[in-house]
A and B are shown apart, each in its own frame.
Chain A
Amino acid sequence: MKQRIFVLEGNYRDRRAVLEKMKRSLKNFETFVFDRRNKLSFVISFITEISCFPTPRLVILREMPAVTARDDTARRAKCMKAFQEAIPKVPGNNIIVFNNLGLRSEAMLKKVRERGKVFKFPSSLKGEEARHRIMTRFKAQDREINLDAADFMVEGLKQSASEVNVDKLDMLVHKLMNYVGKKKTIRLADVREVCSQDEDFIVWDLFSQFDKKELCAALRGLQSYFSIEKEVPKRAIPLLNQMISRYKLVLMVKDAKERGLSEKEIKAEIGNIKKLTRSGKSQQIRKTVMMKGKDPVPQWSGGMVNSITEGWFTDPVKSYSFDNLLLIDYALRKMEIRIRSGCSIPEILMAFEFVAMVMCEKLTKIEILDVLESRQLLSLEEHYEYIK
C-alpha cells in the first residue's frame, strides 16, 4: 500500500469496510486511535515521527484533537492548518486515517489526495435509494425482503425528514438479520417485531394508526411507548409536543391545499413560520427567533412538510376533516394544560387514551373534552354518556 493518508467520510458501515480492507492489506501493524482527549501537538508529533520499529503504524483520528482556541470554529481551523502542514512530513511507514472528521476544505482534501485517497460515502439516502440498499443487503445474504416490509422500514426511519439516515438503516437491517435467523423471506410482521422496542418507530407507527382510525392498534402503540421506560411523566411531554406539532402542521397543510396552493408554495408558506428559542427546565419559549448560523430556523422543516404531503402509508390530509383537526388540537391543548399542572401516572395514561379516541374519531363531541379539565380525571362516570 503506497498511499499513506486517507479521509473517510459518511456512513459507518462503508467506512468500516475500507478500514478492514486496509488492515487486511497491511497484515502486521500497530494501531493507534486518537480523539479529543489527545492534544494536537502530541498527535502531530506522533504522525510525523519515524517509528522505532519496522511494523507499520495505522493511526486513526476519530475526532479532532484538543487545542486551545476561542471557539469550536477556531479550534477546527487550527487543527486543519496543523494537519495540512504535517501531511507532507508523514513518514513512509505511518498510515493516517481521518475517520469521519467532517473534512470539507478543498485545500485539505487536495493535500490528502497528493499522498492518499478520499472516500466519501452517503450518510443519508432518498426513499428509493434506501429501499434499494435494504434489498441489496438482503440479496447479498441470499435472502429476500417483501416490498411492503422494506417500505415500512424506510418510512419509519424517514419520519419527519426527507431522507433516511444510512447508519440507522444499516443498524436496523443488522438487527433484522439477527432476529430472523435462517429465515429466507422477511415480511412486514418481522420488521414490526424488531421495531417494537424502538421509540421512533413506535411514534411513527402510532401516528399511522391514528390516520387509519384504528383505535385498538393506536392504544397498543401507546402502551408500547409508555412501557419502554418507567418514567411516564418524562415520556408524556415529548410525545404530546410531537402530537401538537404534527396536527398543527396537518391543519395548515390541509388549509393551504383547500386554498389551491401547490406543494412548493405550501412549503414556502409554512417555512415562513420561524422557531422561537427555548430555555430552562420548563422549556419556556422566548420571543427571539432561533438562529442556525445566520439563518433563522423554521418551525417545520421541508422534510416534515413532505412527511405529511407524501406519506406512503397514509395520507393525513385526507384522513381528517377540518372539524376533526380542530377538535384534536383543542383536546391536545387541554391535555397539555392538564399534564403540566400536575397529575398522577394513571391520569396521564388515561388522558392519552382519551385523546387517541378523539384522533380515531370515536369521540366527536366537544363537551366530552371537559373531562380533561376535571379535578379528578379518574372519576369519569359522569362523562360516559357522551361516548359513542
Chain B
Amino acid sequence: MKFTVNSVEFARSLTPAYEVVVKNSKKEEDKPSNLITLEATSDKILVKAATNTVSVICEISDSVYGDLGYSCKDEGIVTTSVKNMMESLRSLPPSEVEVSEKKGEVFIVSKKNRKFKRSFATYDEKVKVMGMGKKVEQELTVDREIFLKGINRVFFALCDEESLYQYMCLVFEAEKNMARFSCGNGARFVIDEIEGKNILKTKGGIRMTVPKTVLPTIKKILSEVSDESISIKQIEKDDANHIPEQIVFSFSDMTLRMYGIEPFSTFPSISHIMTRDYSNHVYCSSTGWNYAANGIAMTKNDHMDKIHNSEVTIEPDDCQLIIKSCTKNDAVSPVTFDDTKTTIKGEAPWFRCNSAFLQELATCTSEDAELEVCFEDQSVIEGDDDPNAANKVGPVRVKFPDVSDEARDTIEKFIMFFAVSNQ
C-alpha cells in the first residue's frame, strides 16, 4: 500500500474513526484499543473503525475532502493504530505526505522534506464492522444543525447514575415538522421540542433512543461535517445472523452505527406529562428564581446531610411563590407571579423537591424570561397510602419561553419536569 495525501486534510478525515475508537473502546491485553483498517484503492481510502457499541465506515476521497490531494500508487489494506496515525500526521509540517506499508510497519514521510519520517506497527487482524439487519424499522432525514442543537440543549440532563441504566440515553422523537429531544435522570427530565416546516422528512412518528456513551462521539462528528441533513435509520435485529438492533447515521460518505440500544427501550413515555392538565399554573419571572437558587446554594454550605430539599408554597394574597430550603440554615425567597394569568386551586398549594432541580431551573434560562410552573398540591397525598395516590400529584412541569428562529423558521420549546419528594 502506498499513497500520497495532504497531511492536514487526511488527519481531519480520520477524526470520525479516531472519535469512535479512542473514546469508546477499552484496551485489550495484546493490542491497543484504537485500531482502524485502511483500504487504499485507486480513487478513495475506505476506513473502518469499530467498538462494541459504535462503528464507523468512512470513504475518504477528493470528492468529499476537496484539498485532500489523494493519489494512490499501490493499492492495499492495513490495520494500525489511529492514535499513532493521527499523532504522526499532526506532528509533521502541513504538507503532502507519502503513506506506505512495508514489513509490518506504516511509514509516513513528508514529501517537502523527506527527513521528516514517522513509522509505527501494523496488526494482522482486520477491523470487523458488524453487519446490518435487512428490515428498516424507522427512518428519517433531519437537518444536521437542528439535530445537533437539540442534543446540545438537553445534554446536561443525561443520567449519570449507573444503577439507573435505563435512563442513560437520549430519546429522539419526530413527527411531521417536529423533532423532540428528551432525557433525564429518573427524577428530573428535560425536553427540547423544535418545530419547523423544513427541518425533517419522515413518513410517520419516530422514537429512537441513543445511548449516552456514544453521544459525545456523535456530537463531535456531527459538528465537524458540513452536510445540511443527515439520514437516520433504526434497523431491526437479525436473529438468524446474530446481528443486534442498531441505529445508523449516514452523511458525507460516512456510516455511523450504534449498538446496544435494547436496554433503553423501557425509557418511559413522556407525552402524558406534556399534555397533563394541572390544577395550579403559575407564571413568574426567571429573575426571582435566580435569587432563590443563590439562597439555596448558601444553605448547602453547612448542610451535612447529602439530601437537600426545598419547599415551594403559593401565597395567593401576596401573589408570591415562597421558596424555602428544608435545612438548618434558612433561605426563604419570594418569587412574584403574574396574577392575571395564574390559576390556583386551594388555599396555599405547595410541593417539596430536591433543591438541585430548582437551582437547575434557574440556570436553564436567560434573565427576565417568563416561566410557567405547573404543579399539583402535594397535601392531597399526605398520609395517603393508596398505590395510585402518587399519580394524583405527578411531577412539577416548568415551561420555558419559546424561542423562535426567524431565519430558519423554527420555534423551540423547552420544558423541564421533576419529581416531588416526601422527604
Contact = CB atoms under 8 A, between A and B. Distances in A.
A312 B163 CA distance: 48
Interface string A113-126: 00100000000000
B305 interface: yes
Interface string B342-386: 000000000000100000000000000000000000000100111
Contacts of B393: 50
Contacts of A33: 163
Interface in A318-352: none
B305 A34 contact: no
A265 interface: no
Contacts of A46: 186-187
B307 interface: yes
B421 A92 contact: no
Contact of B423 (A30, A35, A39, A89): A89
Contacts of A1: 387
A51 B390 contact: yes
B422 A48 contact: yes
Contact of A91 (B186, B305, B381, B395): B381
Contact of A52 (B187, B266, B387): B187
Contacts of B388: 54, 92-93
Contacts of A39: 306
Contacts of A53: 268
Contacts of A56: 387
Contacts of A30: 166, 266, 268
Contacts of A314: none
A122 B364 CA distance: 54
A92 B384 contact: yes
Contacts of A281: none
A94 B421 CA distance: 12
B420 interface: yes
A183 B268 CA distance: 46
A1 B306 CA distance: 32
Contacts of A48: 421-423
Interface in B259-284: 266, 268, 272-273
B395 A52 contact: yes
A185 interface: no
B161 A52 contact: no
Nearest to B273: A52
B155 interface: no
Contacts of A38: 161, 163
B423 A44 contact: yes
A147 interface: no
Interface residues of A, number: 34
Given A50-B420, A52-B187, A92 B386 contact: yes
Contacts of B387: 1-2, 4, 56, 92-93
B419 A49 contact: yes
A37 interface: yes
B358 to A, nearest CB: 15
A32 B423 contact: no
B418 interface: yes
B216 interface: no
Contacts of B419: 49-52
Contacts of B340: none
Given A45-B354, A52-B273, A92 B389 contact: yes
A115 B306 CA distance: 26
A90 interface: yes
B214 to A, nearest CB: 23
A348 B394 CA distance: 71
Interface string A1-18: 110100000000000000
Given A49-B420, A92-B386, A54 B161 contact: no
A30 B385 CA distance: 19
B423 A45 contact: yes
Contact of B307 (A41, A51, A52, A91): A41
Given A2-B385, A42-B161, A46-B186, A52 B394 contact: yes
B268 A93 contact: no
B417 interface: yes
Nearest to B385: A92
Contact of B418 (A35, A52, A93): A52
B421 to A, nearest CB: 5
A261 interface: no
Contacts of A49: 187, 354, 419-423
A136 interface: no
B241 interface: no
A41 B273 contact: no
A160 to B, nearest CB: 39
B10 interface: no
Interface string B387-412: 11111011100000000000000000
Contacts of B395: 50, 52
Contacts of B187: 45-46, 49, 52
A39 B186 CA distance: 16
B164 interface: yes
Nearest to B356: A45
B189 interface: yes
Contacts of B390: 50-51, 91-94
Contacts of A52: 184, 187, 189, 268, 273, 394-395, 417-419
Contact of A86 (B189, B266, B423): B423
Q: Which of B163, B305, B386 has the most CB of A within 10 A?
A: B163
B385 A115 contact: yes
B423 to A, nearest CB: 4
Contacts of B268: 30, 52-53, 55
A94 B389 CA distance: 11
Contacts of A32: 163-164
Q: Which of A1, A4, A54, A90 has the most CB of B within 10 A?
A: A54
Contacts of B164: 32
Interface string B154-167: 00000001111010
Contacts of B394: 52
Q: Which of A32, A34, A53 has the most CB of B within 10 A?
A: A53
Contacts of A55: 268
Contacts of B354: 45, 49
Nearest to A44: B307
Interface string B112-141: 000000000000000000000000000000
Interface of A: 1-2, 4, 30, 32-35, 37-42, 44-46, 48-56, 86, 89-94, 115
11 contacts: A44-B423, A45-B307, A48-B421, A52-B394, A54-B272, A54-B391, A91-B381, A92-B385, A93-B387, A93-B389, A115-B385
In order of increasing CB-CB distance, the 8 nearest A-B pairs are A41-B306, A52-B395, A48-B423, A89-B422, A92-B389, A93-B390, A50-B390, A53-B268
Given A51-B390, A52-B268, 12 more contacts: A30-B166, A34-B163, A41-B307, A44-B423, A50-B393, A50-B420, A54-B388, A55-B268, A56-B387, A86-B423, A92-B386, A115-B385
